[in-house]
Structure 1
Amino acid sequence: MNLIFLGPPGAGKGTQAGRVETAHGLVQLSTGDMLRAAVAAGTEIGKQAKEIMERGDLVPDEVVVKIISDRIEEKDCANGFILDGFPRTTGQAEALDKMLEEKGLKLNAVIEIRVDDSILVDRIRTRAAETGGDRADDNEETLKKRLEVYHAQTAPLIPYYESQGKLLVVDGMSAIDDVTRDIEDKIGLATA
């Protein structure tokens, strides 16, 4: 089973992906973690990525897709994977589709965790108050900028995957356990 988790920053994608990973024996793949691992391993694509990052440039889509391509061939991904944080644009989604097709793989579902922006702002305020603002991104201004980027660049993935019949929407404003149950129910439908 191969999944993508979509949603705005603070929607709970990482939390929910971790729960599904444990329950289904899938591997949660974070592009940031994969980039760092490829650089640390000194792979050819890792060397390319390191050079780009050291210049302060964004790693191009084709390099990220190649890193994902290499990673999903590892044994621990035999049961499937969850992409969290990728794709972020329609161009990345198209490149991912092409790469999976070349491998004879497919996405089973794209889970959109839908949360109102105002709720996300409240969550950040609460988390910042609880943690004393330990995290650099625990502030309203940073969140609002990240939400603008999400709506401009990533939200267009919703109709993209909806047109493919792969989009499954869950209410991310429910309690964490309820969101997990809803995702589990929807995954069951997607794989039935």
Structure 2
Amino acid sequence: MVREQFQFDLNSLQAKVLELGELSQQALSVAMDGLYSKNVEVALKVIEGDQRMDDLEEEINDFALMLITRQQPVAVDLRRVFVSIKIAADLERISDHAVNIAKSTIRIGEKELSTSLRYIEEMYKLAIEMLSLAITAYNEEDLTIAKKIAEMDDEVDVLYGEAIKEYISYIPNKPEESSQITQLMFIVRYIERIADHVTNVAESVFYLVKGKHYLLNE
């Protein structure tokens, strides 16, 4: 009976982490919608919704601590609890970067963009797919999916380098647009960091399944 209750609690903990994953996906999606549409109101929704994710991460941490202190889990179960805390932290950081994207969108405002968003669009497509895959990998404990995420992260890194070079090259020719271009450089950096946090989630899945730490994004 005690074991059944503990398994129920572990499942509840996982469900909370999955909920945080869905919220982080929504935050990133809405933030990018705000950027593409140059809609400050949409960007503000991301900022206003961030507290919910902060609260959920804290709830996950408190719940995990309660499980450790009350149930004194054995090694394999303790690993599951630890991974839940670690993944929740990465998901919350992803939502923070979505907020950062929204803030950059507000700073850019409704003025017409002076340059292409092609690198941002490509990086975002990869990052949001990676995030979806990471949530699935965690839910299903699927190492094949987790490994794929690391390979996609390499693609994001290449695009990030190309994007920064292109944006820097614009500044001497368009000094009046330097503030806007700087915000776009911030945004590609935020997306690159999001991809890194997603890769951290994939590494946590490896640890969950294998019981060993693997560095996937070196």
Q: Same fold (TM over 0.5)?
A: no
- Return the TM-score normalized by structure 1: 0.27
More helix by share: 2
- Return the TM-score normalized by structure 2: 0.25
More strand by share: 1
